[in-house]
Amino acid sequence: MPLSQFVVPEESGDVARAWARVRTNLRESAGARLFDQWLKPMQLEDSGDADRVRLTLPSAFMTNWVRSHYADRLYHEFRAVLPSVRAVAIETAAVRDMGGVTALAAPVASVPAVAPVAAETAAEPVIADAIERPALEPRYTFDRFVVDASNRVAFNAAKALAEPGPVRFSPLFLHSGTGQGKTHLMHAIGHSFMAAMPGARVIAMSAERFMFDFVAALRARDTFAFKARLRSADLLLIDDLQFIAGKDATQEEFFHTVNEIMAAGKRLVISADRCPQALDGIEQRIIGRMAIGLVADIKAPSLDLRRTILDRKAAELPDTKVPADVLDLLAGRITGNIRELEGALNRVVAYAQLTGETINLDFAVATLGDVLRGSVRRVTIDEIQKLVSTHFDLKPVDLVSARRARAVARPRQIAMYLAKRLTTRSLPEIGRKFGGRDHSTVIHAVRRIEELRDTDREVDGAVRALMRELEG
């Protein structure tokens, strides 16, 4: 029987055929390496329910990773192939053949990867207008978001929008590079708003999903239901707006949806990887609507933020101790992306569990060799001194001189700070490159610039400009 998006098959073999299609799609989208490591071990099990898919993995650690990164994707992949699917459960498989005795792995709650679209019972039909519950990641809450100067404005704006009562501003537009917390904040808004307003209708989707659903509605000649569903939302969350760039029909519908939500005084949150004005391929009228609300950016995470995030993640690992020097290595070498940072920690822990080895600095370096080589900073102190002196209209010799005038001392501190951040040189080596200064002078300079970046926009702007040029 051929698969069809309009005819829902009922034979049990349809789930197996859908699973084969889903695995093929995952391999193509995730890449062979990631697929083989995390997704290939998944097995399709009999759930005892025709509308529920049950997938199992060999360890609790792998189960948690797949839930965190692929739960939503798995649900939508199954729905695209087999529309009768209402939930996808990701569980840890039973462990067998332990000395002839069957034993079970530590129990892991069998929760649906994504909440069902509508509540169903055996005796009652689906209620079409039941309150919609979005597929929000349970870990992405405000209390689990680590705040510092790089993301404080975005965090406070997100909390304000999630509060019940009159809408203070809408839309909220969040932008940052990949893996720096946009999606976390969006899901946190959803969790907080639903907790405060249990009867509210909240819809969360990526812009790509918006486009997919809109095109499906066009093909099914049922755009009315699509429009009515989105425009009835009390809170609409749209992630990664850049993915509809150049899609004229989708942008037309998106524009009207945004207008309806804003005109009704409801809450709208949009995210993208760039500020509205830098979104190529997005219509100006949409950009104009985004600018009406509040635009908040999330900057690249500082060293302190990266270290704090790793501390929190490491504390949550069951029965696993990650030494401080390993966390220092990860925080110092993986600088631009929180998702990659967490992924590196997960990889070290997973390899240690699989091999039975103790986590230490040598093990981390061996495990993350390719990751660390890709992040090695090739900037030299001479390059830093030359660029800083040009930026502040000084001579390179001024930075290594004994002059203490503020016009020289501050650029010298900035150059020392950049040398510590962007090179692998030790503190004594940096001191020697700046006129034979003591390592304590370098420590003072680094701390002073870190403090000023939080309070002095001019210093922070200069450091950012210099880092972009040096790392570019």
Q: Is 247 annotated as a binding residue?
A: no
What is the DSSP code string of 155-211? HHHHHHHHSSSS-S-S-EEEE-STTSSHHHHHHHHHHHHHHH-TT--EEEEEHHHHH
Backbone region of residue 181 per phi and psi (left: phi > 0; alpha: psi in -120 to 50; beta: other values):
left
Please identify which residue in the block is written with the tokens 């949150």: 269
- Which residue type, as a one-letter code, is found at position 249? A
* Continuous segment of H or E residues that includes residue 55: strand 52-57
Decide: 402 and 409 in contact? Cβ < 8 Å.
Answer: no
The SS3 call for residue 45 is: strand
Q: Is the dihedral of CA 224, 227, 229, 233 positive or negative?
A: negative
Q: Which residues pair with 295 in a beta bridge?
A: 173
Q: Which residues pair with 296 in a beta bridge?
A: 174
Q: Is 24 annotated as a binding residue?
A: no
Q: How many CB atoms lie within 10 A of CB 348?
A: 24
Greatest Cα pair distance, the chain, in angstroms, is 85
Q: Say which DSSP state 104 is in.
A: P
C-alpha gyration radius of the chain: 26
What token pair was written down for 241? Answer: 């707006």
Q: Is 369 annotated as a binding residue?
A: no
Upper half-sphere CA count for residue 35 (Cβ side, 13 Å): 12
Decide: 413 and 448 in contact? Cβ < 8 Å.
Answer: yes
CA distance 352 to 38: 15
What is the DSSP code string of 331-391? HHH--S-HHHHHHHHHHHHHHHHHHTPPP-HHHHHHHTHHHHHHT-----HHHHHHHHHHH
Q: Is 182 annotated as a binding residue?
A: yes
Phi first, then psi: give them for residue 268, nearest 5 degrees.
-135, 130
Residues annotated in a binding site for ATP: 179, 181-183
Detail the residues annotated as belonging to a binding site: 179, 181-183
